[in-house]
């Protein structure tokens, strides 16, 4: 058993894959053969992921603030604390903060062949504005 004590290092998200300020605190990156990963992610107002997909899907659970999530070709959805979002494998989407509100969500996903995400192009300001 490993107990990871509070106070683990905060990681700024790679700006190649995000717009705006985003930071992450790992919850679990389980060693093989486990493949679950969970991370607490904070988005500053206006910040969001690039478009992306997850090979085995993803669950988002919102813990504070107010944000947005959107599937390719769909309407932008408002997400709030207590909401849980399931994104099926391969579904192109983005998630992030509201224009004037930060959001914090837990992201839970499984890796396939060591990979849990496939990054695509940035979400433009026009797409983010809906
Ligand atoms: Mn995602």
Those residues with Cβ within 8 angstroms of residue 74's Cβ, 6 or more apart along the chain or in another chain: none
Q: What pLDDT shows up at residue 115? A: 94
Ligand 1 centroid distance, CA of 50 (Å): 9
Q: What pLDDT shows up at residue 7? A: 86
CA-wise closest residue to 48 among 123, 112, 116? 123
Q: What pLDDT shows up at residue 120? A: 98
Ligand 1 centroid distance, CA of 59 (Å): 8
Ligand 1 centroid distance, CA of 52 (Å): 6
Ligand 1 centroid distance, CA of 46 (Å): 16
Tens-digit pLDDT profile for the chain (130 aa)?
Answer: 999 999 889 999 999 999 999 999 999 988 989 999 999 999 999 999 999 999 999 999 999 999 999 999 999 999 999 999 999 999 999 999 999 999 999 999 999 998 999 999 999 999 999 9
| Distance from C-alpha of 93 to C-alpha of 44, rounded to nearest angstrom | 19
Domain boundaries, given as residue ranges, for the chain: 11-129
Ligand 1 centroid distance, CA of 111 (Å): 13
CATH number of 11-129: 2.60.120.10
Preceding amide of 33 cis, omega within 30: yes
The distance of Cα 64 from the centroid of its chain, to the nearest Å, equals: 14
């Amino acid at each position: 058993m490993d107990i990871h004590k509070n106070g683990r290092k905060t990681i700024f998200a790679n700006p190649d894959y995000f717009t705006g300020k985003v930071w992450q605190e790992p919850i679990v990156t389980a060693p093989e053969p486990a493949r679950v990963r969970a991370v607490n992610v904070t988005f500053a107002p206006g910040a969001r992921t690039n478009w992306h997909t997850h090979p085995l899907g993803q669950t988002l659970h919102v813990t504070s603030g107010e944000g947005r999530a959107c599937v390719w070709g769909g309407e932008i959805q408002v997400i709030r604390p207590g909401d849980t979002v399931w994104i099926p494998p391969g579904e192109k989407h983005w998630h992030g903060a509201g224009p004037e509100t930060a959001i914090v969500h837990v992201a839970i996903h499984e890796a396939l062949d060591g990979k849990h995400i496939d990054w695509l192009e940035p979400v433009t300001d026009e797409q983010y504005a809906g």
